[in-house]
Chain A
Amino acid sequence: MLKLFRWWWGILLAFLLLAVLRVFLPLPFSNEIIIFSIYTMGCSFLLGRVGFISFGQPAYLATGAYATAFYLFYFGTNPYIGILIGILAGLLISLIVGPLFVRLRSDYFALVNLALAVIIFYMMQKVLAGITKGDNGLWFLTNIASTPVLDLTKPNHFYIFAFLVALAIWAFYKYLNDTLFGACCLASKINEDKVKFLGYSNFKIRLTAFVIANTTTALAGSMYAVYLGFVSPEMTSAHRAADPVVVTILGGVGTLYGPIVGAIAYTGMKDLISGLIGNWELFIGFLLVFIMLAGEKGIWGSLEPLLKKAFFRKSAFKPER
């Protein structure tokens, strides 16, 4: 019982704080933070656990979003089924491109992902313009039907839904980090020859990690689609390709709560600074350089040891694997 509590308390505390934050912050901001942190989680897992830096996360985001949008625009009205379809589309595309991509080295991996994002961008903007309506995007807010228990058309109900999804995802990733698979991922990042020597297949480990991470990203995309009620190719443009990487670094690479902290800090700064002088790039850019030069641990990565010291001063503290 105590063990179970100890496993859960970190996640529960983090989400309790997030729920408290909800009282002080406006609703759209909270929704944005939660979806953004889910979006970043996949990238953080890839970068921190498997050592793949990806500048093409928008590709998977857009896949999920457009799959949901197609369903809601042309076929049905139930948002839950739409999200499910988005997840399936993400799973499908990562299963198709995964075997090709994970063979490549880390720096090439970043670039082929970027290429995929650009290809999807032009497909949505020009080639498939007949069904995607090109730059105008698909508007389907009125198509979404009200559902009995959690009505996703209402922002505050959507918040509860997103909150629960995020909680489930964090529990899942915490579980994943504790399993043998999580250890294998880390091992394959640090020394792939030794992983091979121990009898594990690097390719299978990386492919599984890639599929899991990008399915999470697609889920974030379909949640964006349902929340905003519209999708446009802008979502996958190369300008935004580095957003998740920046947030990952900002929060702290490979840490469990880094994506939440990073998403709050990034979205907050963007809103705050663009409200003041309309020049947020300057601050984000120099903050990024500063964080990298200061030791690349990010906000949560620097806070975590301090917090642990404060709370676990007596007990023998085991570092997170």
Chain B
Amino acid sequence: MMDTQLLISGVIFGLSIGSIFFLMAIGLSLCFGLMRIISLDQLLYYSIGAYITYSISLVTGSMWLGALAGMVVAGIISFGVERFIFLRIYERDIAFTMITSFGILIGGVGVIKFFWGVVPRPVPIPMITQISIMGTEIPVYRLIVIAISLLVYLGIWLFLNRTIIGKAIRAGIEDVEHVEGLGINVYRLFTITFIIAGTLSGLAGGLYAPLIMVDPQMGLEVMPFIFMVVIIGGLGSIKGTLISAFLVGQVVSIGSLIYAPLAQMAPFAIMLLILLIKPTGLYGSKLLKR
């Protein structure tokens, strides 16, 4: 059997990957829930967040500043995309938005290649200190990533449950037409949600950048995993997204300790199984009409 040290570092590794998945999937999930669009371009904001982090940390030497700048830039770009493209196509079929956003993603990858080239870039880890948990050395940075994602979950939860705008968004997830009937401008809600989604994707990219190499295809590489997290958790559910993100992270990480070739494949098998048993995902609302 595997020893405790390996297991603990595996769990921490899985949790930190799961945090990144969560930060990205939450945007996709909210966008699907409220606007009924599948917004593949979240993966673009993820790459942009990572690249801005790279550039800023190269200039200023501070990765945290870079991640912050990445967040802001990703938010601004998502605002522009929403204004110019998505505003025209909210009424259309879901497959239509999927293909359009895929076009944005591919075009954006082209822009990234134009500015930064195709060579993978390293981002320095901001803190190399390690702390010891039950005799296992754990990098502090991974713990901070986990903490940030939990804080984001708390913040989103408070936002959705304690503020008027958040309550309107939650109501919109159940039934957009009734919210519109109450005199609330749903298009403003859409814009707000889209910016939140883009910003969080940018944050995910920025936080993940020091742990991997930043390259133009990085968005496409995580795409299947993000989809899987959203589907397993149930489209439109924040709690489900958190749980399934950590689940998928653990399966990838622990699975690779047991039998490496299966690790990348196992989550997909789980997703197939869950979809065939419960087509709405773990916490998907049955009220969703489409």
**A100 in complex: contacting residue of B217, B271, B276, CB < 8 Å:** B276
A119–B94 touching, CB < 8 Å: no
A114–B103 touching, CB < 8 Å: no
Residues of chain A within 8 A (CB-CB) of B85 are: 289, 293
B114–A282 touching, CB < 8 Å: yes
Docked CA distance A306–B223 (Å): 39
Interface residue A264 (Cβ < 8 Å from any Cβ of B): no
Residues of chain B within 8 A (CB-CB) of A126 are: 260-262, 264-265
**A123 in complex: contacting residue of B88, B109, B265, CB < 8 Å:** B265
Residues of chain B within 8 A (CB-CB) of A112 are: 271-272, 275
How far does the Cβ of B119 sit from chain A's closest Cβ, in whole Å?
Answer: 13
Docked CA distance A296–B97 (Å): 11
Interface residue A208 (Cβ < 8 Å from any Cβ of B): no
* Chain B CB within 10 Å, residue with most, of A115, A129, A284: A115
Given contact pairs A111-B227, A119-B265, A288 touches B106 in the complex (Cβ within 8 A): yes
Mask, A21-53, CB within 8 Å of B = 1, is 000000000000000000000000001000001
**B103 in complex: contacting residue of A106, A119, A239, A289, CB < 8 Å:** A289
Interface residue A281 (Cβ < 8 Å from any Cβ of B): yes
Residues of chain A within 8 A (CB-CB) of B89 are: 292-293
Docked CA distance A107–B275 (Å): 12
Docked CA distance A249–B94 (Å): 15
Residues of chain B within 8 A (CB-CB) of A122 are: 261, 264-265
Residues of chain B within 8 A (CB-CB) of A293 are: 85, 88-89, 100
Interface residue B146 (Cβ < 8 Å from any Cβ of A): no
Residues of chain A within 8 A (CB-CB) of B111 are: 282
Docked CA distance A313–B194 (Å): 48
**A238 in complex: contacting residue of B103, B223, B271, B279, CB < 8 Å:** B223
Docked CA distance A103–B275 (Å): 11
A127–B265 touching, CB < 8 Å: yes
Given contact pairs A112-B272, A292-B89, A281 touches B113 in the complex (Cβ within 8 A): yes
Interface residue A167 (Cβ < 8 Å from any Cβ of B): no
Interface residue B107 (Cβ < 8 Å from any Cβ of A): yes
A115–B102 touching, CB < 8 Å: no
Docked CA distance A118–B272 (Å): 12
Residues of chain A within 8 A (CB-CB) of B265 are: 118-119, 122-123, 126-127
A242–B102 touching, CB < 8 Å: yes
Residues of chain A within 8 A (CB-CB) of B269 are: 119
Residues of chain A within 8 A (CB-CB) of B220 are: 238-239
How far does the Cβ of B33 sit from chain A's closest Cβ, in whole Å?
Answer: 13
Interface residue B122 (Cβ < 8 Å from any Cβ of A): no
How far does the Cβ of B80 sit from chain A's closest Cβ, in whole Å?
Answer: 13
Mask, B33-45, CB within 8 Å of A = 1, is 0000010000000
Interface residue B110 (Cβ < 8 Å from any Cβ of A): yes
Residues of chain B within 8 A (CB-CB) of A279 are: 110, 113-114
Interface residue A283 (Cβ < 8 Å from any Cβ of B): yes
* Chain A CB within 10 Å, residue with most, of B227, B260, B279, B290: B227
Interface residue B2 (Cβ < 8 Å from any Cβ of A): no
Q: Closest A-chain residue to B105, C-beta based?
A: A285
Give the number of residues in B that approach A within 8 Å (Cβ atoms): 43
Docked CA distance A292–B105 (Å): 14
B95–A106 touching, CB < 8 Å: yes
Residues of chain B within 8 A (CB-CB) of A286 are: 103, 107
Residues of chain A within 8 A (CB-CB) of B104 are: 285, 289
Among B243-290, those with CB < 8 Å from A are 260-262, 264-265, 268-269, 271-272, 275-276, 279, 290
Interface residue B228 (Cβ < 8 Å from any Cβ of A): yes
B100–A289 touching, CB < 8 Å: yes
B96–A115 touching, CB < 8 Å: no
**A288 in complex: contacting residue of B99, B113, B227, B279, CB < 8 Å:** B99
B96–A296 touching, CB < 8 Å: yes
Given contact pairs A108-B279, A292-B89, A114 touches B95 in the complex (Cβ within 8 A): no
B103–A108 touching, CB < 8 Å: no
A106–B94 touching, CB < 8 Å: yes
A127–B261 touching, CB < 8 Å: yes
Among A81-130, those with CB < 8 Å from B are 100, 103-108, 110-112, 114-116, 118-119, 122-123, 126-127, 129
Docked CA distance A289–B268 (Å): 29
Among A277-319, those with CB < 8 Å from B are 279-289, 292-293, 296
Residues of chain B within 8 A (CB-CB) of A283 are: 110
* Chain B CB within 10 Å, residue with most, of A107, A238, A246, A280: A107
Docked CA distance A47–B99 (Å): 12
Docked CA distance A293–B88 (Å): 8
Residues of chain B within 8 A (CB-CB) of A238 are: 220-221, 223-224
Can you show 10 pairs from A to B with CB atoms below 8 A apart? Answer: A107-B38, A108-B231, A126-B261, A126-B264, A238-B223, A242-B106, A282-B110, A282-B113, A285-B104, A288-B107
- Chain A to chain B: the 3 pairs with minimum beta-carbon distance, closest first: A285-B107, A282-B110, A288-B103
